[in-house]
Structure formats: C-alpha cells, structure tokens
Amino acid sequence: MATVAKTHSAAHRATLGRESVREALVGYAFVALPIASFLIFFMYPLANAFYISYFDWGALGKIESVGLGNYRDLLDDFLFGKALRNTLYYAAVVVPAQIALGLGLAVIVNQALRFRTFFRAAFYFPSIAGSIAITAVAAYILSADGLLNAGISAISGDEYNRPWFGQSDTALESIMALNIWTTSGTMMLFYLASLQSIPTDVYEAAAIDGAGPWRTFWKITFPLLKPGHFFVAVVSVIGALQVFDQAFFISAGSGGPNYSTMTIVLYLYNTAIEGARFGYASAIGIILFAIIFTLTLIQRLLFGRAEVA
Amino acid sequence: MADARDLPSVPPVVAAEQLAAEGEVAIGAGPAGIPGQERSERVRRVIVYVLLFLVALLFFVPFFWSVTTSLKTLPESVGFDLLPDNPSIRAYRSALSAYDFNRYFLNSVFLAAVVTTSTLFLASLGGYAFARLKFPGREFLFLLVLGTLMIPNELRLVPIYQMLIDLPVLHVNLLGTYQGYFVINLVTATSLFLMRQYFLTIPKDYEEAAKLDGAGYFKTYWRVMLPLAGPALAAVTILTFQGTWNDFFWPLIIFLGDETKYTLPLGIFQFRTQFYTQWPELMAASVIAIVPIALIYVFFQRYFVAGVTAAGVKG
Amino acid sequence: MRKRLTVLAVLVTATLAAAILAAGGAQSKTVLDRPQAVTAASGTVTLSGWSVGKVEEDLVKEVIAAFERKFPNINVSYDAIPNYDQAMLAKFSARQPPDVFYLNSEKAPTWIGQGLIAPLDSQVKRSKFKTKPFYPRLLNAFRSKGKLYGFPKDWSPLGMEINLELLSRAGGKAPTTWATLRSFAQRLKPLMTGTARPICLAPEWQRMLAFVYQNKGTVLKNGRPQFTSAAVRQAVNFYVGLQTAGLGDTPAKLGVGWCGEAIGKEKAAIAFEGNWAYPYLPETFPNVRWRFFPMPKGKVRGTLGFTVSYSTSPASKNKAAAWELIRYLTGQAGMRLWTSKGLALPARSDVKVNFPAPSRKPLLNEAGYAHVWLWPDGWDKVWTIANNELGAVLEGKQTVNGMLSRIQSEAQSAR
C-alpha cells in the first residue's frame, strides 16, 4: 500500500516521465547504426527499384516512362505466372519441412545423449559445406546413372534411371529435398539456442507431475519456443521465396526443364542480366517484396504479438 | 525499500550444464529407474543410436565425396567410383600454387573476423533495445529490419555499386577496398532478429535486479544481458562467420580487379572454366575452405550446452 | 618583405606564362606534325573478359605481353571476371566500364541497342584497318544500322562429333545428309547399351536451329518471327523424330550434363557441339577417340556459329589505346598467337594455325554457311520459353505444334 501511494506522487511521476524519455533516447542510440545501415543499403535501393519500375530502364538509365505498364505486363506474363506458382509451391513444402526437421534435430541433439558433439557436427555439416560442393554432389548422386538410382534399382530389382534434376516432374522437388536437407542444420542451430533458454525447473515440475516425454514436449517445450518459432518461420519463408542458386545452377539459368525450376528471383535475374531490362526486373522485385512483406506481417500478427510485454 | 524478489539462485542455463555434465538425465524424459523398463529402455536406446548414426553418416556424405574427389585425377573424378585408384594430393598442390590461395585464405579470415565482431556487437545491442527498451516507432523500425531480408541482392546491385563508386556526401570511391565491404556488411538483420528473440526469453528479474543496483542501460546490457546470451551469441558467431566466409556476391562486385583482395569463394570459382569444371582442384579448394568454418563451429557449439557462466546477478 | 613579395609575384607570373606558352606551343607543334590530329596512344587500358581456365589466361597474358612490346607506352591491365554479364552491367551503369571487353554475339543487339558499345568505323578508316580478312558472317554479327561495333576475336561453329570406334563398327562412313544420319543412327542402335543412344539431342534451340537452317528455314525474316513456318516445323519434326524413333535422347536421359559429356562417357556416338569440346574431351576422357565432322546437309548446308568480339564503350577513358589494343588482338599476329593452342578458332581467313588433334578443318570449312547465333533485342525471353518448350516436347509433355505456336506468339509480342 505504501508503495502504491509512492507511485502516485507527482515527483515520482515526473521521474518516470524523464525516465521514459531517457529510455527512448537510449533505445534509439542502440539501434542507430543498424537502422542507418539498413536505410542506406536496403531501403534506398528498394525505393530506387520502386522508382525505376515505372520506366523502361536500361543499363544507362531511363529509356522511357511506362507508368504502370510493367506491372500490367506482369499480369499477363506467362513466364512470371510459372515463376510465381513454382515459388509459392516451393515455399509451401520447404518451410514446414525445414522447421520440423530443424526442431527435431535440435531436440535430439539437446538431449544429454552420448556422442552429442558428433551428432551436432554431423547434422550441421551440410550447411557448412559450400553450396558449389553440395549442389555438385547432389547432381552427381541424382543423375540418371547416379547413386540414388543405383540404390533404387538394387532394392526394386528393376532398372531405374530417372534423371531427378533433369525431369520436369522431379526437378523442383529434388531442389526442395536438397535445400531442406542443407538448411535444416541452420534451423537446428536457431532452435538449439532457444531450447537452452528454457529453465530446467519447468521440466522438473513436469516430471513431478508425471508427464511423459512426448507430452512434456508438446505442452511445455513447444509453446515456450514461441520466440524461436517466430524467428525460424519468418527467416524460412523469406529464404524460401527467394530461392535462386540451385535453380540457376541446375537449369543453367533456363528455369527448365519445362519451366519446372523457374523461380521468381531467377526470372528477375534473367530479366535484369540477360535482357538488361531493369525497369521490368524492378517491378518483379517489388512484387516479390510485397508478397514476402505481407506474409511476414501475417506471421507477426499470428505469432509475434504475444511475446512483447 | 526493495521488494523481496525471488531470484533463482543460479541462472537456468548453468543448471542445465550441470545436468548435462552428468550425462544421464535426458531433459524432457520421463521418470527413470523403474525396474523392468530397463531392458526395453536400453534396446530402444540402441536402436535410436543406430538410426541416428546412419542419418549422421548420410549428412557427412557430401564432405566425404568432396575429399575423395579431391584425391582423384580429372578423368577419374567424373566417374562414379567412391574411392580413387591412386589417391594423390596433386590437386591440392595445383590449387595452392595456381592461384594465391594463402592470400585468399587470409582475406577470408580477415573479412569474416571483422564482420562477425561488428555484427556481434551491433546485433546484440540492437536486439536488446528492440526486446527490452521502449521507444516510439519501435514496431515500425523492427518491421524495417525484417524488411531488409526481403530484398534480393540483384535488386540492390546497381544502386549499391553506384554508391560505392561515389559515396554520397563524402565522395570517396570505396570500390576495391576492404572498408567498402565492411560498410555494407556492418550487421545483418538475421542476427539482430535472432538476438531480439533470444533476449525476449530471458526473465526480466535480472534487469530489474541490475536496475535496483543502479546500473544504466548500457551497463545492464554489457554486464547482465550479454553474459546470459551465450547460446545466441554463439549462434550469431557461427552464422555470421560462415555467411561472410561463403559470400560470393559482394566480394565479387567490390574486389573485382584487385586479385590481392580476393576471398576464397572467388578463388575457388577460378576452377570453373567456361565449359567444364576441374573437379579435383575445385574439391581440394572447397575442402581447404571448409576447415576454418568447421573449427569455428566445433569451438562455438560448446555454448549450446553450457551457457556462459553467470557473471553474477548481483552485479 | 615587399621586395620578396615582388620577386615571388614575378616568378609566379613568369612560370604561368611559360606554362601557357609551352602548352600552346606544344599544341601547334602537334597539329603541324600529325595532320590526322590523333595523339600517340599511351597510358593504361583495361581489358576484361569472362573467366577462362588457367591455360587460356596464360595465353591472353602472352598476347598482351606481345602487344606491350609493340606499344611500350601502353600498359594493359587484364581481368577475368566471373559472372561476367552481371559485373559488366553494373560497370556500364556506373559509367566505368573496362576500355576493352568481350562482347558475346548473342548479347550484341541488346548492348548495342542500349548505347553501351562504341562504333569503330572512324578508327577503322583512320588506321586503314583491313576488314576483308574477317569471315563476313562473323563480322556482320557486330554490325548494326550500318555501323561496326566490334571485331570477332574467335569463333566456333556447331559440328558433328562422332565416336571413331562406333563409327568403324557401324560401317565406317560418316553421315553427310539427313537421310544418311538416320540410317547411320539405325545401324548404331543395337550397339548402344543401357541408357546410351546413338545421338545426343540437346533440348536447346542453340543446337536445333542448325537443322532449321539446313532446311532452308529461318526464325526471323524481315523482322517477322517465322516459328510456325513450314520449313521450321519440318526441321523441328526431324530433330524430335530422332528421339521418337529411339535414335537419340536428351543429355539428362543419357545420364550426363551436356552432349560433350555424352561423347566422353560414351553415352552417345554422335553429338552436335563445337570447338569447345577441346580440351574438355581429351583432358577429361583421354581414352575416347572421336573427331569433328561437318554438320549434315538438309536441303542446303547450314549450321550455327558462336562468336565473341573485342569492343569498347563510349565511356572508355582511353579510346586511342583501346583501339590499338583491339586492332592488335584481332589483327593477324595477335589472333594467330591467341588461337595457336587450338582453344579457339581464328575469325580471320588469313590466320593459319597448326592445330593439335583433332583436325578443325571440318569446322573451319563451315565458315561459309554458319549463321551466327544472336538474339534480337528482347529475345532472351523468347529463347527461354523456346528452350523450355523444347524440353517439354522432348519429355513428351508438349506437341511440336503447341510449342511453335507458343514461341511464335511470344516472339511477336517481344519488343
């Protein structure tokens, strides 16, 4: 009671007021350098892209103003339609799989198992090895005469020789599998960090209550990982929607076979670099940004709200 | 008059370390030691371990193939033999002598070290501010941070290139300089985001204790939050080091024309000629490139078990 | 004090006056000595190409060294750029391109159209550089609206590579026409095991187009796309028909990355590739014996040619030296040195080289009927669609007519 009375004294309120101003200033100071860096090297190029998307823009600059022409063309654009569909499909599969696998690996590794260090290293390894090596290995293993087909032939007894990356039915799916595998290690890392912050008394209490491992995980661990979930989900979605490297490498830039590996960023790259059509490419980039931003906003509203006190 | 606050006597991560050190208690496992369950429990464990080993082995496959390929000759390397007939380190010698690999290696180390340091500091400071400090527009600025992740590099290429050639206001040319690379890579949004999320999970009791002791914001950050953020800092270190180490896009744009500043990815690329790839040399170079990251990882992943020992909540 | 100031003022004025007089004097002297008003080329010139292997890079450095001996006042700074197109576009947009650089024939219309390349006609005239020795079709790839924008540094046409062992087992006579190509492949069919096929059929128009030309067809006439013309349709049906008859298949189905690799791994006996198979094939697959043959003849002879020029930009900082470098590199001596190892074919008919095996004669003889592969501005997208459609056709997921009408409509709406 005495404390409450104190809080309401004018002097105290004034102190609180000055305090929150100070807090705000410190807050700005702490984020100043990162925000400045982001404004200059990300937001300015974004604004620039937005500007030139209203033009026919070449390597040397403005060619002519087209207003919303680029965006209108995108609506009818056959290739862009393919790219959009492929990219959304890719993200819809890869994001949940990456998260699930990453979480699973993190939980496994977080257990006080023997050889924990070895497992931690093994599961993270694909993420470390450079993407040239990984994609090359995958191309070798998944080729028509490669290891995977040899394995399948041995098991099934039939001659099996699908070129996984070279067939439109399986090309994108093979890239999905490849990326889920390589990025799961990074997700595992994120989740590991989060798992470490859960106090053990929580587990002890659960154990005392007689909860089994599965129940403990779903009712206690999983909800406590919410900040981790938000992070992993956002980063995963953003990364998946920008898939480019493997699609470029596997299809030699063509997005084939049969448009199966044409992604939005690949189309953007081709338009800008092969066609030198920067205005159109910027329009593609802006649309991609809008999609990602909307999805992130939705995720923020779904997950992110509860955390901030 | 201070409230009697129930502070945990030992920070939770250290408790976890103690438990982990004992090695027998699986966090989240059910009650142990019930007789009769022991044998089936052991069998189950063996099966789990075997499966995990197989999976782990699978995860090592690319590295294994890289190493064996690096020991082959070019004609051999396009074949499907798992092991080379006459393993030789010819490719390593040729990779190291053909281009100035020592130089590339040192450049990569230098860039990665500097970028990681600046990111660790700025991301943790910023992450703390976003997680714990209240300032108007915080939500908007945070969305801005996230927004930077949504812009593909190709879209940023031309504006940044033009900026580097003629930096606004200062009118310097940063192309071909290390500073140019550092300036555009001060901190990544991912790291900032990660630190923020982690700080959100730390109980507020610590900061409030620090505040009662009269610590200012920076001191709280430096002496309380940072020590508690071991696992997150380790994660940021690993990810940033690796990200910079494997970065091909920006070193290419910035250091083009000055071979003395090339990093490993640029060096490695030189083994791909216009129509084919010299696989043994490429793999040899890739193997050399993996070693430092593997070392960083091995060193820092300890922090995923033991959080940094508490700096002492009592300031 | 005043005295010292006066002395200083006099000295400064005198120096300034002397400088002005000297400069003015020098100028008039130059005008008198050189009626062409071209100052002697000197300084540094930057040369950029895309990344090539060590052997080629050393060769380029040799040519540069020879150039620098001839022009001791010029210093050449050479760079091999990975991700060439991307880096070049960034440099163009910043108005800081290299002085001399590679221009790929497929990109030439786009880059020339955007004003990134400088016409060379006035320099050619002034230095009386002979254009006649260049293969006309190659040179024309770099002409636009009557101006010349570069000189080809080398080239390669598409030829037919045939595995010699299988050739002898199938009768020993290499095919020379469409009909004999088919019958030869028929004879090869029982000799190919597993996933191997007689012919490797790349799912790319930059290979299949050769057959269109052999059928007296073309995809662009007077600015109008001709994909649905009878000649094109016939040629495409011939090419695709080889697959339906089991006489050939795509690299993916053969288990390789491209048709050169198919020859190397003996997954195919015949491939349509160019000089770039060398040194890839001998170095990677030293045990396979093969040779170049001319492309088969349809109604007429025809094949594709791929070439690259040395060009310069209007934004170049050292135009005089840039021209000297281009002149040397594409001159007789420079080109002979560059093509001496057989890594590329000379683009001039007056450059004779003793190539290492295999013989390039079949390729060089195609110079008279090679059509250079180039994209009209805006056709990068047309070819992306065309190649995806062709891939779909070869997967059995699209009909030839469906493909041709889609490409035709896309080509018609390309600007």
A199 touches chain B (CB under 8 A): yes
pTM value?
0.88
Q: How confident is the model at residue A3 (pLDDT cuts 50, 70, 90)?
A: low
The model's pLDDT over B20-54, given as tens digits with 9 standing for 90+, comes to: 444 333 443 434 445 556 778 888 888 888 888 88
- Give the start-to-end residue ranges of the domains of chain C: 43-156+307-338, 159-305+366-413
Pick the CATH number of C43-156+307-338 from 1.10.3720.10, 1.10.150.530, 3.20.20.70, 3.40.190.10: 3.40.190.10
CATH number of A70-307: 1.10.3720.10
SS3 track for chain C = CHHHHHHHHHHHHHHHHHHHHHHHHHHHHHHHHCCCCCCCCCEEEEEEEECCCHHHHHHHHHHHHHHHHHCCCEEEEEEEECCHHHHHHHHHHCCCCCCEEEEECCCHHHHHHCCCCCCCHHHHHHHCCCCCCECHHHHHCCEECCEECCEEEEEEECEEEEEHHHHHHCCCCCCCEHHHHHHHHHHHHHHCCCCCEEEECCCCHHHHHHHHHHCCCCCEECCEECCCCHHHHHHHHHHHHHHHCCCEECHHHHCCCCHHHHHHCCCEEEEEECCCHHHHHHHHCCCCCEEEECCCECCCCCEEEEEEEEEECCCCCCHHHHHHHHHHHCCHHHHHHHCCCCCCECCECCCCCCCCCCCCHHHHHHHHHEEECCCCCCCHHHHHHHHHHHHHHHCCCCCHHHHHHHHHHHHHHCC
The pLDDT of residue C36 is 32
| Percentage above 70 pLDDT, chain C | 90
| CB-closest option in B161, B165, B276 to C280 | B276
Sequence letter at residue B299: F
CB B182 within 8 A of CB B114: yes
B155 touches chain C (CB under 8 A): no
| CB-closest option in B98, B256, B274 to C81 | B256
Q: How confident is the model at residue C23 (pLDDT cuts 50, 70, 90)?
A: very low
Burial of A169 from C-beta contacts in 10 A (0-12 / 13-18 / 19+)? middle
C-alpha to C-alpha distance for B197 and B202, rounded to whole angstroms: 9
The model's pLDDT over C120-145, given as tens digits with 9 standing for 90+, comes to: 999 999 999 999 999 999 999 999 99
Give the homologous superfamily in CATH for domain C159-305+366-413.
Periplasmic binding protein-like II (3.40.190.10)
Chain C residue with minimal CA distance to B166?
Answer: C94
**Span A221-239, average pLDDT:** 90
The pLDDT of residue B127 is 96
| CB-closest option in A116, A145, A197 to B201 | A197
- What would the two tokens of residue C265 be? 């791994």
**Span B124-153, average pLDDT:** 94
Q: Which helix (H) or strand (E) holds A235?
A: helix A226-241
The pLDDT of residue C315 is 95
Q: How confident is the model at residue B1 (pLDDT cuts 50, 70, 90)?
A: very low
DSSP class of B27: T
**Span C313-331, average pLDDT:** 95
**Range in A176-185, B48-57, B306-315 the model is least confident about:** B306-315
C-alpha to C-alpha distance for A256 and A283, rounded to whole angstroms: 23
Q: C185-211 as b/e, with b when 16 or more CB fall inside 10 Å?
A: bebbbeebeebbbbbbbbbbbebbbbb
Which of C265, C381, C413 to mutate against chain A (most A CBs within 10 Å)?
C381
The pLDDT of residue B7 is 35
The pLDDT of residue C29 is 41
Q: Using alpha carbons only, how large is chain C's radius of gyration in Å? A: 26
Residues of B in contact with A268 (CB under 8 A): 152, 154-155
Does pLDDT of C19 surpass 70? no
Neighbours of C359 (CB within 10 A): 12
Sequence letter at residue C267: K
Residues of C in contact with B269 (CB under 8 A): 51, 82
Does C159-305+366-413 match C43-156+307-338 at the fold level? yes
| CB-closest option in B150, B286, B305 to A293 | B150
Nearest 5°: phi and psi at C297? Answer: -100, 135
Q: CB within 8 A of C269, min separation 6: which ones?
A: C162, C163, C166, C167, C170, C188, C191, C192, C198, C199, C263
Does pLDDT of C22 surpass 70? no
Determine the Cα angle at C158 with ends C157 and C163, to 5°: 130
The model's pLDDT over B206-259, given as tens digits with 9 standing for 90+, comes to: 888 988 888 889 999 999 999 999 889 999 999 999 999 989 999 999 998 788
Q: Contact B157/C260, CB-based, under 8 Å?
A: no
C-alpha to C-alpha distance for B162 and B254, rounded to whole angstroms: 11
**Alpha-carbon torsion B89, B94, B99, B102, what sign?**
positive
The model's pLDDT over A57-93, given as tens digits with 9 standing for 90+, comes to: 999 999 999 999 999 999 999 999 999 999 999 999 9
Interface confidence (ipTM) of the complex? 0.88
The pLDDT of residue B199 is 92
- What would the two tokens of residue A76 be? 């009818």
Portion 254-293 of A in contact with C at CB < 8 A: 254-259, 262, 270-277
CB B286 within 8 A of CB B84: no
A185 touches chain C (CB under 8 A): no
What's the residue count for chain A? Answer: 309
- What would the two tokens of residue B118 be? 């600046």
B:C CB pairs within 8 Å: 63
Give me chain A's average pLDDT, please: 87
Q: Contact B257/C79, CB-based, under 8 Å?
A: yes
**Range in B127-141, B247-261, C236-250, C302-316 the model is least confident about:** B247-261
CB A182 within 8 A of CB A130: no
Dmax over CA atoms of chain B, in Å, equals 81
Q: How confident is the model at residue B314 (pLDDT cuts 50, 70, 90)?
A: very low
C51 touches chain A (CB under 8 A): no
- What would the two tokens of residue C105 be? 């024939």
Q: Contact A254/C410, CB-based, under 8 Å?
A: no
**Span C244-266, average pLDDT:** 94
Portion 110-149 of B in contact with A at CB < 8 A: 122-123, 125-126, 128-130, 133-136, 138, 141, 143-149
Portion 183-222 of B in contact with A at CB < 8 A: 184, 186-187, 189-190, 192-194, 197-198, 200-204, 217-218, 221
Q: Contact C284/B276, CB-based, under 8 Å?
A: yes
Portion 40-59 of C in contact with B at CB < 8 A: 46, 50-54, 56
Dmax over CA atoms of chain C, in Å, equals 107
| CB-closest option in A61, A139, A254 to C387 | A254
The pLDDT of residue B35 is 54
| CB-closest option in C89, C384, C395 to A59 | C89
- Give the start-to-end residue ranges of the domains of chain A: 2-52, 70-307
Q: How confident is the model at residue C10 (pLDDT cuts 50, 70, 90)?
A: low
Residues of A in contact with B141 (CB under 8 A): 31, 35
Residues of A in contact with B30 (CB under 8 A): 207, 211-213, 216
Distance from the B255 Cα atom to the nearest Cα atom in chain A, whole angstroms: 18
At B158, is the secondary structure helix, strand, or coil? helix
A102 touches chain C (CB under 8 A): no
- How far, in whole angstroms, is CA C79 from its chain's centroid? 18
| CB-closest option in B20, B144, B197 to A227 | B197
Distance from the A67 Cα atom to the nearest Cα atom in chain B, whole angstroms: 19
SS3 track for B187-240 = CCHHHHHHHHHHHHCCCCHHHHHHHHCCCCHHHHHHHHHHHHCHHHHHHHHHHH
DSSP class of A306: G
C-alpha to C-alpha distance for B125 and B241, rounded to whole angstroms: 18
C408 touches chain A (CB under 8 A): no
- What would the two tokens of residue A230 be? 């938000």
Residues of B in contact with A136 (CB under 8 A): 277, 279, 282
C-alpha to C-alpha distance for C380 and A275, rounded to whole angstroms: 6
Q: Contact A146/C255, CB-based, under 8 Å?
A: yes
The pLDDT of residue B36 is 54
C-alpha to C-alpha distance for C202 and C225, rounded to whole angstroms: 23
Q: Contact A196/B304, CB-based, under 8 Å?
A: yes
Give me chain B's average pLDDT, please: 81
Q: How confident is the model at residue B67 (pLDDT cuts 50, 70, 90)?
A: confident
Does pLDDT of B194 surpass 80? yes
The model's pLDDT over A117-154, given as tens digits with 9 standing for 90+, comes to: 788 888 888 887 767 677 777 887 787 777 788 888 88
Q: Which helix (H) or strand (E) holds A175?
A: helix A171-196
Find chains touching chain A: ≥3 CB pairs under 8 Å: B, C
A69 touches chain C (CB under 8 A): no
CB C297 within 8 A of CB C291: no
**Span A1-26, average pLDDT:** 75
Q: Which of A290, A72, A154 is nearest to B155 (CA)?
A: A290
Determine the Cα angle at C142 with ends C138 and C143, to 5°: 110
Portion 103-122 of A in contact with B at CB < 8 A: 107-122
Does pLDDT of C281 surpass 90? yes
Q: CB within 8 A of A222, min separation 6: which ones?
A: none
Q: Contact C276/B161, CB-based, under 8 Å?
A: no
Distance from the A247 Cα atom to the nearest Cα atom in chain C, whole angstroms: 14
Find chains touching chain C: ≥3 CB pairs under 8 Å: A, B
| CB-closest option in A146, A255, A271 to C388 | A255
Burial of B15 from C-beta contacts in 10 A (0-12 / 13-18 / 19+)? middle
Most confidently modeled of A101-115, A182-196, B169-183?
A: B169-183
Portion 157-176 of B in contact with C at CB < 8 A: 157-158, 161-162, 165
| CB-closest option in B74, B162, B253 to C93 | B162
| CB-closest option in A128, A265, A288 to B297 | A128
Q: Which of C159, C158, C182, C178 is nearest to C170 (CA)?
A: C182
Pick the CATH number of B95-304 from 2.60.40.10, 1.10.3720.10, 3.20.20.140, 1.20.1300.10: 1.10.3720.10
Q: Which of C283, C261, C281, C259 is nearest to C272 (CA)?
A: C259
